[in-house]
Amino acid sequence: MDTEQPSHDAVHAASAGRARPRVAVVFGGRSEEHAISCATAASVLRAVDRERYDVVPIGITREGHWVQVADDPRALEIRDGRLPEVPDTGDQVIVPMGGLDQVLRVQRPGEVPRVLGEVDVVFPVLHGPFGEDGTIQGLLEMADIRYVGCGVLASAAMMDKHVMKVIFASAGLHVGPYTVITDTQWRRDPAAALDAVASLPFPVFVKPARAGSSVGITKVLSPDGVEAAVHEARRHDPKVVVEAGVLGREVECGVLQGRGSDHPRVSEVGEVTVVGGHEFYDFEAKYLDEANVRLSCPADLPAQARAEVQRIAAVAFEAAGCEGLARVDCFYTEQGEVMVNEVNTMPGFTPWSMYPQVWGASGMTYPELVHELIDLALARPLGLR
């Protein structure tokens, strides 16, 4: 990547009468991935070039309050198993709702709002519902504020594992056997829903349809365990997806929006291996037990298989209408077939997460990746595109 090429950031800053563009890093949120979002924000805040950008950290509490927080990455890290939290500071951030007013304000109860200033771009490092699912993207679209990452439709569709599979199949991509249990189906006829699951080859993975970071997922070895697993998934989402287990290896590919080209850019292919203590790559393995997780990039696959993963990643990215970034997860089966699993529109984004790792193996450092995403967002037009 040529970091010296002229970018849109200086243009946006100059139009607002500032020396540097202002980036609001928004994190936390109402989902169960709140703490992971905070940890991601810590990494982004530490990586942003402060000589190039003004940075405004904005946290969203678990109750959904937008607050101005201290620019202190250390307070947002996962340390000794302690999960970070956005504190309710009382400094409520008010987002403009479009038009000529592009100014963020901060208000305390009983006080006159103070001006926080205009923001050129938002970097929303939110994971899960009420953030990664098109909700904050829609808010920012209405506010005429540019933002990093996928738009409303791609974010919403890729958050829903059922809709995601429908889109993949329509694009000619191979998806594994699965069934869906909606809230209505479960309340009306749970026995029929369990029968549909029993028709799948076991083991199966019972998942909340619209959650991430492996929250609420259960690996079930026989039909006897399905009902309890559905109840567990429904604690997180009333809509449940049940997938037949695939015998093979899970491999991942990073995708970036094309620059100067209509074609998306793909990274080297990586592989996650859980070496002990976990049935699968669950929440604890991802974030709390790094000693038992191995990230390999480039993955030890035949060259033809790596190329097929990259091709499928680009097709999935475009089929979903993604922008900015996405991580595409695939299975490489024992028969040598590549099967798409899912697309993450705001993947894990700490320096040790797979998405930055695969781009690091492709020649792009973590700070370069952060800048690239900000620059892509600044270059993107507002409104329909």
pLDDT at residue 37 is higher than 90: yes
Query: Tokens representing 224?
Result: 């006897």
pLDDT digits (tens, 9 = 90+) for 88-112: 988 899 988 776 677 889 988 888 8
Class of the domain covering 178-244: alpha beta
Predicted confidence at residue 14, as pLDDT, reads 43
Domain 9-148, CATH:
3.40.50.20
What are the residue ranges of CATH 3.30.470.20 in the chain? 158-174+246-345
Q: What is the rounded radius of gyration, in angstroms, for the C-alpha atoms of the chain?
A: 21
pLDDT digits (tens, 9 = 90+) for 273-317: 876 654 545 455 444 445 566 788 999 999 999 999 999 999 999
Lowest mean pLDDT across 7-16, 152-161, 232-241: 7-16
CA distance 330 to 219: 18
Q: How far is CA 205 from the centre of its chain?
A: 20
- The stretch 233-259 carries a mean pLDDT of 94
Query: Tokens representing 63?
Result: 């109750």
Q: Are 219 and 239 in contact (CB under 8 A)?
A: no
What are the residue ranges of CATH 3.30.1490.20 in the chain? 178-244
Lowest mean pLDDT across 25-39, 125-139, 272-286: 272-286
Query: Which helix (H) or strand (E) element contains residue 241?
Result: strand 240-244
User: How far are the Cα atoms of 174, 275, 306, 353 from residue 297, in angstroms, in the given order?
Assistant: 24, 16, 11, 12
Helix (H, G, I), strand (E, B) or coil at 278: coil
pLDDT digits (tens, 9 = 90+) for 305-336: 999 999 999 999 999 999 999 999 999 998 99
Predicted confidence at residue 72, as pLDDT, reads 94
> What DSSP character marks residue 336?
S
> What DSSP character marks residue 345?
S
Helix (H, G, I), strand (E, B) or coil at 310: helix
User: How far are the Cα atoms of 11, 53, 319, 357, 369 from residue 154, in angstroms, in the given order?
Assistant: 28, 28, 9, 23, 21
Say how many C-beta atoms besides its own lie within 10 A of residue 350's C-beta: 21
Average pLDDT of every residue of the chain = 89
Query: Which helix (H) or strand (E) element contains residue 267?
Result: strand 265-274
Query: Which helix (H) or strand (E) element contains residue 147?
Result: strand 146-147
**DSSP per-residue letters across 110-130:** TS--EEEEE-SEEEE---STT
Q: Are 371 and 49 in contact (CB under 8 A)?
A: yes
CA distance 148 to 370: 10
**Residue 11 or residue 337, greater confidence:** 337
What are the residue ranges of CATH 3.40.50.20 in the chain? 9-148
CA distance 161 to 166: 9
Predicted confidence at residue 275, as pLDDT, reads 65
**Residue 261 or residue 271, greater confidence:** 271
Predicted confidence at residue 167, as pLDDT, reads 98
Predicted confidence at residue 270, as pLDDT, reads 96
Lowest mean pLDDT across 195-209, 264-278, 303-317: 264-278
Lowest mean pLDDT across 166-175, 245-254, 279-288, 329-338: 279-288
- The stretch 11-31 carries a mean pLDDT of 78
Task: Give the pLDDT band of residue 15 (cuts 50, 70, 90).
Answer: very low
Query: Domain 158-174+246-345 belongs to what topology?
Result: D-amino Acid Aminotransferase; Chain A, domain 1 (3.30.470)
**Residue 211 or residue 47, greater confidence:** 47
Residue 207 β-bridge partners: 241
